[in-house]
Chain A
């Protein structure tokens, strides 16, 4: 299908349609610090958010990008081999996730969707945890407080409200605008372009604005919500919606890790200082299928995917690192080797995780005793035991 098709189906008035950037082109308002060719564009507003980065830090970002992509590839192949039930791939969105994830401070709290494996990595969540969720061993199962990383939320958009309420709690606790960088706290809510249509997300905008919540809405616009192009969800660029709700919105090149880092740092600082909420639209692309269950050839042209390959988030950053002399081929090889080992270990831990027994499904339903459920569980145990007696 063509872009004109999409416009025709949307019934978008000609003027608005013309202003809509082509996929792949974020338009003149998109903030980019590193071009797809790996050329650094100075930016007087945002460069200061990168000034403290040492060559080690810069290399660390590269390592994050590579390991996260490898984790994702491992998830994909584990699903193909029947080890996972499903896998939502982040391919193409590494920079948006690593850039924003590394902008967070330890005390900041993060509310992901189901695709934020890269942010989970940056928060220090064991990468096995998301794998086990998609394996069908848990429904998440990690403690959100351990790494200030909430559970994955599959119901589209729900977490935007949770993030808002959490941020309201941060304000009540007096953790906003004290000027103490170790104390002031921000919250970040991840969601997709499709999610921007949900009532919950729009209600989150209203509540967050109404209570000046120390919150950054981080929308990864990967151009697709399963088979539906972003033009089905919005007539105007998503970042422009924020203004209507009364807070600032920016569009950042979501495939530019430096820009994502700088902008998220800036926005989180603002939120911590009491100037929240704020909205970031990371303009990126879902390079793969929606999940392992999806077949994108039914609804999008491969030419579009090809165009986005030139905007690959890792390639441009690697090019820049090498050109600046921050890393050489020996370093890149070392990271590749580390990624191989990392993936092999992860795979091993995943495939050797046993299935939980049926008796465990009764655990953690209630935090306090529930006699009716306990009676049901006892009957279940007797029923299972009756088979063992037979054998």
Chain B
């Protein structure tokens, strides 16, 4: 065990490396992941160390990447697919929702699909169109898939390894605008928490703020700002979007009675909608205010010079908190 200071991106690299060291059946496949190390350099150095058989530069076809990964999984491998950018997962959508998600059920439980599909997601980095999407709800909507998202280097390191160990397919959403966030943590040892669990990253009594991936940092900043005005926000990093860690969410909501959910994805039928419905069903008499959603605007992701207007930022999150407190 060693204390290391790593960026979120390099923590993912370390996690992938650890998983590959441990299990020779783990293979990586994706566009430009070999010599280049992927456009975000998450697989940097891995092809050199593990060879071209295990770090596979694929032809330019996402359906091909995921479809062949299904075959490799059937043959006993544990493929980790890299989708270059969120907007390019859709050519693989058919394979993911019709095959990856359903093979276990279709085979009456005889077939397992231990596959990870890594997707750098979200905006805020000034990219052209199709490079800033937040497609997580499509996948969370699909039974048979598990969906997680990391928000910090330590989680990135552990969650990618746990996702690879999972016998079900995991959609792994990486907050690309946080790839360069840095933190110190222990490499090796035991994972600090279960993969499919949420984490209370800041405690508070007044309002529960739920988020995941790139917006966690914004939520922590919002909680700091609110504290100066005397509002104690409890920030929960959901980490797992399917299954939801309902226990942690409900416990906090019961305590504060007020819940705000934020994500970059468009709010209409987004994760926030599902969580709000669940809270209203489970905690109708405990809630002090309607659950507030602060999401991306319900429009196609705009050109980058407008993205600040689209994305939930500190002010919009605090506005949501105010709305929850207004009751």
Contact = CB atoms under 8 A, between A and B. Distances in A.
Interface of A: 1, 9, 85-86, 114, 133-139, 154-156, 194-195, 197-200, 225-228, 232-233, 293-294, 298-299, 355-358, 360-362, 365, 372-373, 376, 380, 383, 387
B128 interface: yes
Interface of B: 31-32, 34-37, 39, 52, 57-61, 63-64, 87-88, 90-91, 126-131, 268, 297-300, 302-310, 315-316, 319
Contact of B35 (A197, A299, A362): A299
A365 B300 contact: yes
B85 to A, nearest CB: 9
Contact of A298 (B37, B57, B63, B302): B37
Given A137-B305, A227-B32, A233-B59, A9 B52 contact: yes
Given A156-B60, A373-B298, A227 B304 contact: no
Main secondary structure of the interface of B (DSSP, over half): loop
A138 B39 CA distance: 24
A45 to B, nearest CB: 33
11 contacts: A86-B127, A133-B303, A136-B126, A136-B307, A154-B130, A155-B88, A197-B59, A197-B60, A199-B63, A226-B31, A358-B306
A135 B128 CA distance: 8
B303 A138 contact: yes
Given A134-B128, A356-B303, A361 B37 contact: no
A156 B37 CA distance: 20
B57 A197 contact: no
A360 B306 contact: yes
Contact of B128 (A136, A360, A380, A383): A136
B87 A155 contact: yes
Contacts of A372: 268, 298
B35 A1 contact: yes
A226 B36 contact: yes
Contacts of A226: 31-32, 36, 39
A155 B130 contact: yes
B309 A358 contact: yes
A212 B231 CA distance: 68
B57 A373 contact: no
A25 to B, nearest CB: 23
B88 to A, nearest CB: 7
A281 B298 CA distance: 41
B305 A356 contact: yes
Given A85-B128, A155-B130, A197 B297 contact: no
A135 B305 contact: yes
B274 to A, nearest CB: 18
A294 B31 CA distance: 14
Contact of B306 (A133, A154, A361, A387): A361
A85 B64 CA distance: 30
B61 A133 contact: no
B273 to A, nearest CB: 13
Contacts of A298: 35-37
Residue in B303, B305, B315 with the greatest tally of chain A CB atoms within 10 Å: B303
Contacts of B59: 194, 197, 228, 232-233
B305 A136 contact: yes
B303 A136 contact: yes
Nearest to B268: A372
A383 B319 contact: yes
Given A199-B61, A227-B34, A298-B35, A139 B309 contact: no
A114 B61 CA distance: 17
B243 to A, nearest CB: 30
A365 B7 CA distance: 37
A373 B37 CA distance: 41
B134 to A, nearest CB: 16
Nearest to A296: B36
A139 B127 CA distance: 11
A9 B35 CA distance: 12
Contacts of B39: 226, 293-294
Contacts of A114: 128
A227 B36 contact: yes
A365 B299 contact: yes
Given A136-B305, A233-B59, A356-B305, A228 B31 contact: yes
A232 B57 contact: yes
A198 B298 CA distance: 30
Contacts of B131: 154
B306 A355 contact: yes
A9 B39 CA distance: 20
Nearest to A366: B299
A137 B303 CA distance: 6
A9 B52 CA distance: 7
